[in-house]
Amino acid sequence: MSPVTLPAAAPALEAVAAAPKLAEDRAWPVTGPVIRTFQPPAEVWSAGHRGIDIAAAAGTTVVAAAAGTVTWVGVIAGVPSLSITHVSGLRTTYLPVTAIVSTGQVVAAGEAVGVLQAGHAVRDCLHLGLLRGSEYLDPLLWLTGARIGPIRLLPADTTVSQLSIKFQRYSR
To Zn ion, the closest distance from the beta carbon of 37 in angstroms equals 10
Toward Zn ion, which CB reaches closer, 6 or 67?
6
What is d(CA 132, CA 108) in angstroms, rounded to the nearest whole number? 20
Q: Name the 3-class secondary structure at 26.
A: strand
Q: Does 138 bind Zn ion (CB under 5 A)?
A: no
Residue closest to 130 by CA, chosen among 45, 74, 44, 64:
64
Q: Name the 3-class secondary structure at 11.
A: helix
To Zn ion, the closest distance from the beta carbon of 135 in angstroms equals 17
Q: Which of residues 19-58 bind Zn ion (CB under 5 A)?
A: 53
Q: Does 127 bind Zn ion (CB under 5 A)?
A: yes
Q: How does DSSP classify residue 38?
A: -
Encoded amino acid at 19, one letter: A
Toward Zn ion, which CB reaches closer, 44 or 154?
44
Toward Zn ion, which CB reaches closer, 27 or 35?
35
Q: What residues line the site for Zn ion (CB under 5 A)? A: 53, 127, 172
